[in-house]
């Protein structure tokens, strides 16, 4: 009897230890994933928790926010406020605005270095990229690019920045080691959003007025293909496995699904009115499309390519840029 009781006590202690370890492990792996939606007409950011697909907080920012970028390694996000001529720096742990930094007259697109020490802001009116220290607000440098720069994407591995110049119908390649333009590539009419493949081998320019996408080889700077999509395309994102490109079409309220090998459109997904921003979850299972006209975000299952939810946001949502992040 004593042996049985001792054995039972030992088993209980082992079970408790294993349960405790499991709880610690679960807590350690419980990193929130957010979609940050810039609401241009209500001058705030809606924070959507992807696990519950609900807005958990609304953060006031500068005047009429548009562009956004996240810096997951420093738990920050950066928002351009065109009417206020500022960028807002957001703390993603407290979900608050830390500060606003005065920039040029037309901030639109924004991205940051992987370590979060530099923020790159496209100035629509001054035709340059401003490099800002997000902590001090110091202007580090400016880089002249084409006319009306809008979308930005960066490649930390190859130390490059890509810029869509809307009124020049071109994309600039910038070497981030020297902060100099190395290539200027002709694309379709009125490029606005950019998307980069996970391996950095391709950049896709979304050309609004020619209703197509230009695929560019980043190693050679050559145009690989021009892909007709829906009417008035705006932004795009590449799947995590690099097999599909998802392009939002404003005038059709659709997403064109493009095979990145054949460059054929394999599906067209109907969403809500006037989509402007698009991003993909960390595991690649869901797309989030931001709909200006309906004040909503459409959630799409990437396996079935069906809309599975619609989430209400503030007024005039845009989220031009990378807006989904996992807080470390």
Q: What confidence tens digit (pLDDT) does each residue in 209-232 have?
A: 999 999 999 999 999 999 999 999
Query: Percentages helix, strand, coil for the chain, rounded to the nearest 5?
Result: 10, 50, 40
Q: Does residue 5 lie within any of the structural domains? A: no
Q: Does residue 24 lie within any of the structural domains? A: no
Give the integer Cα–Cα distance in Å for 39 and 65.
6
Q: Who contacts 28 (Cβ-Cβ below 8 Å, separation ≥6)? A: none
Give the integer Cα–Cα distance in Å for 53 and 61.
22
Q: Are strands 44-49 and 54-60 parallel, antiparallel or unpaired?
A: antiparallel
Which residue, among 152, 170, 149, 151, has the nearest Cα to 161 in the 3D structure? 152
DSSP β-bridge partners for residue 212 = 207, 228
Q: Does residue 220 lie within any of the structural domains? A: yes
Which residue, among 249, 223, 150, has the nearest Cα to 191 in the 3D structure? 150
HSE-up of residue 212 (Cα within 13 Å, Cβ side): 13
Share of the chain above pLDDT 70, in %: 91
Give the integer Cα–Cα distance in Å for 319 and 322.
8
Average confidence (pLDDT) over 53-75 = 93
Q: Does residue 132 lie within any of the structural domains? A: yes
Count the domains in the chain: 1
**Cα three-residue angle 175-128-188, rounded to 5 degrees:** 80
Q: Does residue 252 lie within any of the structural domains? A: yes
Q: What is the pLDDT of residue 6?
A: 44
Q: Are strands 67-71 and 320-321 parallel, antiparallel or unpaired?
A: parallel
Q: Does residue 311 lie within any of the structural domains? A: yes
Q: What is the pLDDT of residue 11?
A: 41
Q: What is the pLDDT of residue 29?
A: 52
Q: For the full predicted model, state whether its pTM sits above 0.85.
A: yes
Residue carrying the six token digits 């270095």 = 113
Which residue, among 122, 118, 119, has the nearest Cα to 109 in the 3D structure? 122
In the structure, what pLDDT confidence band is assigned to residue 34 with cuts at 50, 70 and 90?
Answer: very high
**What end-to-end distance do the CA atoms of the chain give, in Å?**
50
DSSP β-bridge partners for residue 149 = 165
Residue carrying the six token digits 């007709």 = 228
Whether residue 44 is predicted with pLDDT greater than 80 in this model: the reply is: yes
Q: What confidence tens digit (pLDDT) does each residue in 268-282 have?
A: 999 999 999 999 999
More confidently predicted of 30 and 156? 156
Give the domain extent around 254: 32-326
Tell me the CATH number at 64: 2.130.10.10
Q: Does residue 63 lie within any of the structural domains? A: yes
Q: Does residue 292 lie within any of the structural domains? A: yes
């Amino acid at each position: 009897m004593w042996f049985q009781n001792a054995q039972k006590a030992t088993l209980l202690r082992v079970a408790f230890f294993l349960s405790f370890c499991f709880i610690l492990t679960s807590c350690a792996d419980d990193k929130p994933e957010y979609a940050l939606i810039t609401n241009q007409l209500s001058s705030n950011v809606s924070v959507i928790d992807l696990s519950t697909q609900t807005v958990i907080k609304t953060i006031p920012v500068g005047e009429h926010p548009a562009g956004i970028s996240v810096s997951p390694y420093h738990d920050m996000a950066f928002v351009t406020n065109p009417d206020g001529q500022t960028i807002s720096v957001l703390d993603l742990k407290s979900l608050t605005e830390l500060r606003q930094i005065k920039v040029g007259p037309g901030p639109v697109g924004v991205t940051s270095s992987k370590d979060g020490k530099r923020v790159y802001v496209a100035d629509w009116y001054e035709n340059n990229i401003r490099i800002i220290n997000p902590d001090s607000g110091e202007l580090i440098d400016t880089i002249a690019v084409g006319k009306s720069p809008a979308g930005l994407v960066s490649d930390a591995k190859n130390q490059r920045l890509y810029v869509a110049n809307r009124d020049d119908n071109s994309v600039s390649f910038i070497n981030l080691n020297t902060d100099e333009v190395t290539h200027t590539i002709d694309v379709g009419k009125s490029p606005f959003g950019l998307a980069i493949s996970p391996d950095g081998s391709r950049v896709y320019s979304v050309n609004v007025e020619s209703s197509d996408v230009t695929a560019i080889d980043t190693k050679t700077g050559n145009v690989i293909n021009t892909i007709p999509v829906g009417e008035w395309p705006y932004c795009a994102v590449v799947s995590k496995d690099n097999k599909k490109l998802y392009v939002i079409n404003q005038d059709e309220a659709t997403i064109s699904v493009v095979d990145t090998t054949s460059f054929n459109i394999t599906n067209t997904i109907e969403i809500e009115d006037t989509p402007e921003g698009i991003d993909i979850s960390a595991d690649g299972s869901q797309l989030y499309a931001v709909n200006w006209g309906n004040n909503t975000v459409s959630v799409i299952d990437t396996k079935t390519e069906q809309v599975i939810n619609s989430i209400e946001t503030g007024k005039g949502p845009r989220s031009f840029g990378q807006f989904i992040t996992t807080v470390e």
